[in-house]
Structure 1
């Protein structure tokens, strides 16, 4: 398995599965879908200077 996949699986385990008891497959799909949206639209990423992946660039500062 690649390092990227292992990193994503580790993030899911730490940030989601360690806090929520999954009751069935549809619940798991709902939880993972919600986490995917959070991960791509809101969660800061160090490699992107604390920007989420779906944000193209840092907002411009108004002087």
Structure 2
């Protein structure tokens, strides 16, 4: 169960990273936002996406390892 929660958290991080990255580019969000057209948030969003991929990958790794151990 914990493995799936880790994967869900990673997926949520990826979604937020994509949102932040698009806000930094000025594609999404209100123009009054401090994140709108702010180059820093493009990089923060990419960093959050990569972190989410790492967290999701760790969850997948734990899930696969548990499945392989169950087969033995």
What TM-score, normalized by structure 2, do the two folds share? 0.32
Task: Work out which of the two has the higher radius of gyration on C-alpha atoms and give 1 or 2.
Answer: 2
TM-score by length of 1: 0.35
Q: Greater relative contact order: 1 or 2 (C-alpha under 8 angstroms, separation 6 or more)?
A: 2
Larger helix proportion of the pair: 2
